[in-house]
Amino acid sequence: MRAFRLLTIAAVLPAAALVVDSQQMRLDPKLRGFWVLNVEQSEFGGAEAKPKSGLVNWTETGFVFAIVTADGSLYGDAVVLGKQCKMIGVPASYSCEFKMLTPSHCLLTVRDGKSVRRIADIELIDANTTRTVHHVTPPAGKPYDEKTLWVRQQ
């Protein structure tokens, strides 16, 4: 129940977190909505155990991400898009860059200071599926890739 409440709060966070001006980036409306992680068809590269579940809510102004890890913990963050990419729920040293390749294909680069920690290549591959390839560079250990599939929540 606690995870559900946190997820509910996270789902409304982008709209309340930042007033986005009229020059914000526009995502394809087909990306908007709730997407559920297909754990079985996803690959988690460097992870010792797969997460139990995940949910992303894409909005006009960005997205909120929440995942239940293998040990049952809840992780969540948000990315708000406007003139600049802004992250919520991460350490203050984190920053992001967001690049639209097409209205339904984008790159999200996450930095910790000057170090790139994650590049997420996010693409709508059909009306009900998004694919994300994460190129992850952890603070310690070797870089790895995660390949995740997300299915539109009906």
pLDDT of amino acid 133: 97
Rg (CA), the chain: 15
Evaluate if residue 15 carries a pLDDT over 70.
no
Please report which confidence band the pLDDT of residue 25 belongs to, taking 50, 70 and 90 as the band edges: low
Output the CA torsion sign for 63, 35, 121, 143: positive
CATH number at residue 43: 2.40.128.120
Token duo for residue 45: 């590269």
pTM above 0.85, yes or no: no
pLDDT of amino acid 154: 73
Strands (E), the chain: 33-37, 53-59, 62-68, 74-81, 85-88, 94-102, 105-112, 115-126, 129-136, 144-152
pLDDT of amino acid 132: 97
* Domain span holding position 136: 2-152
pLDDT of amino acid 58: 94
Give the number of domains in the chain: 1
pLDDT of amino acid 55: 98
Please report which confidence band the pLDDT of residue 26 belongs to, taking 50, 70 and 90 as the band edges: low
